[in-house]
Structure 1
Amino acid sequence: MIRLSRYLRPYRVSVVFSIIFVFLQSLANLFLPTLMSDIVDTGIVKGDMPYIFKTGILMLLVTLMAGGFTIISNYLASKASTGFGRDLRNGIFTHVETFSLKEFDRVGTSSLITRTTNDIAQIEQVYTMMLKMMTMAPLMFVGGIIMAVYKDAELSLVLVVALPAILITVFFLAKKGIPLFKEIQKKMDRLNLVLREGLTGTRVIRSFNRTRFEISRFDAANQDMTRTAIKVNQIMAAAMPLMMLIMNLSTVAIVWFGGLRINSGNMQVGGLMAFIQYAMQIMFSILMGAMMFIMIPRAQVSAGRINEVLDIFPDVSDPEEKKDLPENQDDAGVTFIDVTYSFPGAETPALSHLSFSARPGETTAIIGGTGSGKSTLLNLIPRFYDTEGGSVLVNGTDVREMPLEKLRGMIGYVPQKAVLFTGTVADNIRYGNDGATDEEIREAARVAQADGFIREMKDGYASVIAQGGKNVSGGQKQRLAIARAMVRKPDIYLLDDCFSALDYRTDARLRVELRKVTRSSTLIIVAQRVSTVIHADKIIVLDDGKVAGIGTHEELMNSCRVYQEIVASQLEKEGLA
């Protein structure tokens, strides 16, 4: 938590004044029992009504001041802690956005969501309590002891027995409860994972009649977290009864021994009343401290989880020394030189010693069986991953030497699974180019064969896309994703199997339009269907992460066994082989 306190720096003025007003509030609260004692011992005992009224008005003013100080301090504490939470969430999100896909795989999406929401909320709550209580508790504790001793030093010996009993109780409960907090956060990660899978995969779940199974899976994760939470709450629930027992026994002891001192003339009734209030203030300050001891360990667990994310150094980052890199027109396009890549923990490389080039004005197609490394190859170009061996060159420059913003600004990428965002159709297409005009958006949609179905929608380009694109079909999502890449007018187009949901006629028309708009660009298409790649200028056949053949359709039909098998499996019945 200390490391994360840097996010409080912009609010240090609010923090300082919050502490000042808490200090003033504590002084006012410590002054009130003394005034009450004076009213009883001087005003009531002597029957001095003017003194009672004068001191009573003073008590009222002090109480109003204490209330005002409390309101201001709480406002400033809330302002600082909520600002801290907002800035930390922004910081986490900004940092996570720099991750490569390897870091996302390492932490997990559900865990990142939990850490960005629940964990930060835990820390935010603790900072609020700290600003309100952490300052007040020691002030009330020390001030209460001073005032209690001032009222009657001998009666204060009761506190010598009561205070250690409370401290031991707090220590015992904290020791039992702290280890369970970390388990709760981990089990919440698991619960979020199951919930996320259940919600996003609802179509598959229902189609396979697995609703009951998913409900039982969620219930198991929910029950697991609940059992741990109950253990924690059982331990912490014992805190208040034990504290109240000790406090009430202490009060009985104070009244007992105080009554004896009043009988002996060593103490007055008002003094005993004030002493009881100071004893309560001391014990409540310990109770506030106990609450902090209960909450801080949980927040420390959350802070540790957040720091784990902040400590992850992205595997892919901008080069340390940024410089203008001249583009070599002779080497324009994308070139792979002896590229090898392995996923963490994998026994064999996903790609092994790949070498090929894709030139502007050409259509370079990549085809292969499932798991042959097609998408992985494409992900190396925009540096979603970095190669382990060899080099990926764009316009003759190693991508690792290029600023990420410049590199990715040259690329129009269409992922294998089309992703749309909440907003209008036009907003989703304009996502590829903020400055795109309405005419450019319509032209991109026309090229992507999306203009027709968009115009048939109720509000046309102003129609709203639901979260995740749930209100459009798979083929429509793919075409909108392609339009988003088209509107960018990039130097390099990377299309990752984005024709799979299209019918053959739409596929053919789209490829014709693509050829027209990409004449000066490098076009790399990953596809499963031979009909999509059959007219490509260059076809790269992958088999288990290795190049099995490179050439045109006719050349590969004569020389590449893997390609022949793919063609035979897909096109023989259609007479296209």
Structure 2
Amino acid sequence: MNIIKDFISYYKPYKRMFFMDMFCALMLSFIDLSFPMIVKYLLNDVYTKDTNVILKYAIIIGIFMFLMYVVRFFCQYYITSWGHIMGARMEADMRLDIFTHLQKLSFSYYDNNSTGKLMSRVVTDLFDISELAHHGPEDVFISILKIVGSFILLLNINVKITLILLFVTLIMLYFSYFYNKRMRYIFKKNRAKIANVNAQIQDSLSGIRVVKSFANENVENIKFSKGNKEFLSTKEKSYYLMGSFFSMNGFFQGMLYLSVVLFGGIFISTGDIKTADLVVYILYINIFLKPIEKLVNFTEQYQKGISGFERFLEIMNTNPDIKDNKDAIDIQNPKGEIQFKNVSFSYDEKNSILNNIDMKVKAGKTVAIVGPSGSGKTTFCNIIPRFYEINKGIVTIDGQNIKNIKLKSLRRNIGIVQQDVYIFGGTIKDNIAYGDSNATEEEVIEAAKKANAHEFIMGLEDGYDTYVGERGVKLSGGQKQRISIARVFLKNPPILILDEATSALDNESERYIQKSLEKLSTNRTTIVIAHRLSTIKNADKIVVLTEEGIKETGTHSELLSKKGVYAKLYNMQFQTA
């Protein structure tokens, strides 16, 4: 019932359309139910009279029926067009809601869920919602009206035959209910399997260059084939169920006709029913059976739609583990002083990443974080914009606990340049303007110049309007990195985080990027995660992080003189060089 309540809530913005749709459905039912009654009236009361009376009544009833079917035309038009539009709008609302909700979920959620499966939830799972939203209430409403209306009229014609029909119908409904539960389970399983297929496609196509470089197309084909066969298996099971379901319902419908023909003949022979009434009775059987058939079809539609909606609700009911506190405020004119007070963090209960970190970064200063792989350098930086929630301790900016700062305000004042740059599909201008959606073209160009990107951009055929391809595939690593730096220049934040921003570049690209980063760091609080220690010699402070916590702090020369962890790491790199 809770699922149905949540589903019904999406009708709220379209109440007028919904009630108009139901009114048109009511008119359709009334017109369809009235036709056999008109036939009965003509057979019993009109066609038994003389020719002039028959002609007069035939013309009057003909005009009345023409007007009825004109009304039916407009009602059918509204149901088919605007009814479907209402369903499509509801589907679009749900898709927007789930996408918006996904934007609120933290990194930890995406660590545990693949992009392909989430795309399946946003796109595939909601395909059948539109049809259910439109046809569901309308089909149920029309069917109930027609079944109840025709049943009452059938009782008026002959009670005995109608009770026999009721008995067969009840068996049919019980059978539908039994199969209904089995179909719901199998349709939900279908959606889970197609989500796996989507995830496999997304994973394989995203890594297509790696696949080809290792000549592993056959490996990917085998992996995909396995998921595809699992989906086919559940799909086949659903079709076996549907085959049994529809064929048995067809059999029961045949039993209804058989009952009318058999018992109708018996009751005509005993004088309990007139031949004309039996003809009308058979016409009503058609009206009685069509809504039952619609309800049977609705059962499949409902199971498909509601199984998708259940999976939709699974995400909508996932609460973001990082959100604004009730009393959260915006940062006002931040200077950028950052302090860690006894901070500990772990991704799970067993493996601790950061332990009792105490550290202060003064406003406008540059602090470098170094250490062996797995020591928690990137995690340290991800805690500052609250991408992950710490287990213990406090992180402050200008003395303000970051948990008491609105997330938008906090992240708006932090710029991040990462090693793995993400470039959106679109133009270079679009990607730079991502740093400030309100920026003018002149401001975008100025940011590109500061990032040493303007020269290479103008060398491209379409300049700033050059389409970069998916994930910036048409650009080199250095070009992508400069565009990401231009983004941050445009954002102009007081706090800057550089997460191994040059480690994946060649020497020439690194020199270009290093100059850009030096410009970007001017008058900003900067935290640098460095792989190449030669790039952080001029940092105001270097912090050596290990699995045990902060091991050493000091300037480059101070740490070398200590001959500790930093000196060891530096000498290893120097000897390699």
Alignment TM class, shorter chain as reference: over 0.9
Q: CA deviation at 1:224?
A: 0.3
- Note if 1:68 corresponds to 2:96: no
- Note if 1:111 corresponds to 2:117: yes
Q: 1:175 aligns with which of 158, 172, 181?
A: 181
Kindly provide the CA deviation profile for residues 274-306 of structure 1, in whole angstroms up to 9, marking residues without a partner as x: 211222322332222223333334433333322
Paired position in structure 2 for 1:251: 257
Q: Is the 8 A contact 2:468 2:474 kept in 1?
A: yes
Paired position in structure 1 for 2:158: 152
Kindly provide the CA deviation profile for residues 348-388 of structure 1, in whole angstroms up to 9, marking residues without a partner as x: 21211222222333322222222221211111111111211
Equivalent position SS for 1:135: helix
Q: CA deviation at 1:342?
A: 0.7
- Note if 1:360 corresponds to 2:360: no
Q: Is the 8 A contact 1:38 1:270 kept in 2?
A: no
Q: CA deviation at 1:429?
A: 0.6
- Note if 1:555 corresponds to 2:561: no
Paired position in structure 2 for 1:261: 267
Equivalent position SS for 2:352: coil
Q: CA deviation at 1:80?
A: 2.2
- Note if 1:438 corresponds to 2:444: no
Q: 1:484 aligns with which of 476, 484, 487?
A: 487
Q: CA deviation at 1:39?
A: 3.6
- Note if 1:389 corresponds to 2:395: no
Kindly provide the CA deviation profile for residues 216-238 of structure 1, in whole angstroms up to 9, marking residues without a partner as x: 11111111011111111111122
TM-score of the aligned structures, taking structure 2 as reference length: 0.93
Q: Is the 8 A contact 2:125 2:309 kept in 1?
A: yes
Q: 1:204 aligns with which of 210, 213, 220?
A: 210
Matches of 1:486 and 1:353, distance apart in 2: 33
Matches of 1:404 and 1:248, distance apart in 2: 64
Amino acid at match of 2:534: S
Q: CA deviation at 1:72?
A: 1.4
Kindly provide the CA deviation profile for residues 214-266 of structure 1, in whole angstroms up to 9, marking residues without a partner as x: 11111111110111111111111222222222212321321232234344444
Q: CA deviation at 1:425?
A: 0.8
- Note if 1:343 corresponds to 2:347: yes
Paired position in structure 2 for 1:333: 337
Q: Is the 8 A contact 1:21 1:70 kept in 2?
A: yes
Matches of 2:366 and 2:515, distance apart in 1: 11
Equivalent position SS for 1:155: helix
Paired position in structure 1 for 2:103: 97
Q: CA deviation at 1:53?
A: 4.5
Kindly provide the CA deviation profile for residues 493-532 of structure 1, in whole angstroms up to 9, marking residues without a partner as x: 1121221233324323433443344332111122222232
TM alignment of 1:183-202, pairs within 5 A: 183-202=189-208
Amino acid at match of 2:326: E
Q: 1:513 to 1:72 in 2, by over 3 A?
A: closer
TM alignment of 1:194-233, pairs within 5 A: 194-233=200-239
Q: 1:545 to 1:13 in 2, by over 3 A?
A: farther
Amino acid at match of 1:336: F
Paired position in structure 1 for 2:314: 308
Q: 1:517 to 1:214 in 2, by over 3 A?
A: closer
- Note if 1:130 corresponds to 2:148: no
Q: CA deviation at 1:193?
A: 1.4
- Note if 1:428 corresponds to 2:434: no
Q: CA deviation at 1:180?
A: 1.5
Q: 1:328 to 1:216 in 2, by over 3 A?
A: closer
Matches of 1:324 and 1:113, distance apart in 2: 33
Amino acid at match of 2:345: Y
Amino acid at match of 1:383: R
Q: 1:303 to 1:10 in 2, by over 3 A?
A: same
Q: CA deviation at 1:484?
A: 0.6
Equivalent position SS for 2:130: helix
Q: CA deviation at 1:336?
A: 1.7
Matches of 2:160 and 2:444, distance apart in 1: 86
- Note if 1:78 corresponds to 2:81: no
Q: CA deviation at 1:127?
A: 1.5
Amino acid at match of 1:114: S
Q: 1:47 to 1:494 in 2, by over 3 A?
A: farther
Q: 1:525 aligns with which of 523, 528, 535?
A: 528
TM alignment of 1:406-485, pairs within 5 A: 406-485=409-488
TM-score of the aligned structures, taking structure 1 as reference length: 0.93
Amino acid at match of 2:214: F
Gaps of 5+ in 1: none
Q: Is the 8 A contact 1:339 1:354 kept in 2?
A: yes
Matches of 1:502 and 1:357, distance apart in 2: 30
Matches of 1:67 and 1:510, distance apart in 2: 69
Matches of 1:489 and 1:327, distance apart in 2: 13
